[in-house]
Copies of this chain bind each other. A is one copy, B any other.
Amino acid sequence: VAFSPDAKRIVSATLDNTLTIWDVDTGNELLTLTGHFDRIHDIAFSPDGRQIATASEDQTVKLWNGTPAELQAPPQGGNAP
């Protein structure tokens, strides 16, 4: 389990080989990330808070985007349905 440098998010790994990013203030899940095929045994948040590195028993290291994507507002003046 690791905190983002701004202490607003934590990331944890679960037994089903997924990562979850949580909002510290609300306790809500922000993102669930899949991709590893075996247990994740190590997690690190990057010092700039932008990425997460994981190491897994599947013998791969992965980098993940640690910042949930901004919701994209519809273009102003458009006819968004």
Contacts and interface: CB of A to CB of B under 8 A. Distances in A.
Report the interface size class on chain A.
20 to 34
A50 B7 CA distance: 9
Contacts of A10: 44, 53, 61, 63
A14 B50 CA distance: 24
Given A10-B63, A27-B63, A54 B15 contact: no
B53 A1 contact: yes
Nearest to A50: B7
30 contacts: A1-B42, A1-B43, A1-B53, A1-B55, A1-B61, A2-B44, A2-B53, A3-B45, A3-B47, A3-B51, A3-B53, A6-B47, A7-B47, A7-B48, A7-B50, A7-B51, A10-B44, A10-B53, A10-B61, A10-B63, A12-B53, A12-B55, A12-B61, A13-B55, A14-B59, A22-B61, A24-B46, A24-B51, A24-B63, A27-B63
